[in-house]
Amino acid sequence: MLLFLKNALFTVVVPGTVGVIVPYRIGLRRMASGMPWSPRQYVALCLLAVGGAIYFRCVWDFARTGRGTPAPIDAPKVLVVRGLYQYVRNPIYIGVLLIVLGWAVYFASFRVLVYGAVVALGFHLFVTLVEEPSLRRRFGESYERYCGAVRRWVPGRRYVAAA
């Protein structure tokens, strides 16, 4: 139960702010109230749903397999290489970026798109400068093998952990 609460709190505070509150507020400035939905909004809804599903699947794997959260201060105790992590090393970030892209499409907002590019750059810098070195120290050779087999940002072939 405590693990569920920690994951819920992190989700609301970090991805909830970065992926929902900020881009929504940026895009809302541009939208006329009472606008009828167009096909663009339905495409946006699909992006939001896929991004959200990716994020929540990864949180599930972090909690169930890793016994931790996406928060760096309460990271999984075990290297998570199941679920979407079998295909790409950073699916949580990809999920959040799809959510931001969904808002950019929904509002047809260049500002939200630029915000998403800045967030993507921030994610990349955090992953390469902080997260990956930390994971290398914590998990050593198993993380090195994983990095050698699974790409950072572009999904690829399924990773099969050594027995």
Looking up residue 56, the CATH number of its domain turns out to be 1.20.120.1630
Tens digit of pLDDT for each residue in 105-161? Answer: 999 999 999 999 999 999 999 999 999 999 999 999 999 999 999 999 999 999 987
Q: Considering the domain boundaries, does residue 157 fall inside one?
A: no
DSSP 90: -
Q: Considering the domain boundaries, does residue 31 fall inside one?
A: yes
Q: Please indicate whether residue 64 or residue 101 has the higher confidence score (pLDDT).
A: 101
State in Å, rounded, how far the first CA of the chain is from the last one.
Answer: 31
Q: Considering the domain boundaries, does residue 161 fall inside one?
A: no
Distance CA 105, CA 42 (A): 9
Return the pLDDT at 145. 94
Q: Considering the domain boundaries, does residue 19 fall inside one?
A: yes
Return the pLDDT at 34. 61
Q: Considering the domain boundaries, does residue 160 fall inside one?
A: no
Q: Show Cβ contacts of residue 79 under 8 Å, excluding neighbours closer than 6 positions.
A: 66, 135, 138, 139, 142, 143, 146
Question: In terms of residue numbers, what domain contains 42?
Answer: 2-149
Tokens of 100: 């931001």
Q: Considering the domain boundaries, does residue 50 fall inside one?
A: yes
Going by C-alpha positions, the residue among 70, 80, 89 that lies closest to residue 18 is 70
Q: Considering the domain boundaries, does residue 97 fall inside one?
A: yes
Distance CA 41, CA 108 (A): 9
Q: Considering the domain boundaries, does residue 12 fall inside one?
A: yes
Tens digit of pLDDT for each residue in 15-54? Answer: 888 888 889 898 887 665 666 788 999 999 999 999 999 9
Distance CA 148, CA 156 (A): 12
For the chain, the domain total comes to: 1
Tens digit of pLDDT for each residue in 86-96? Answer: 999 999 999 99
* Cα Rg, the chain, nearest whole Å: 17
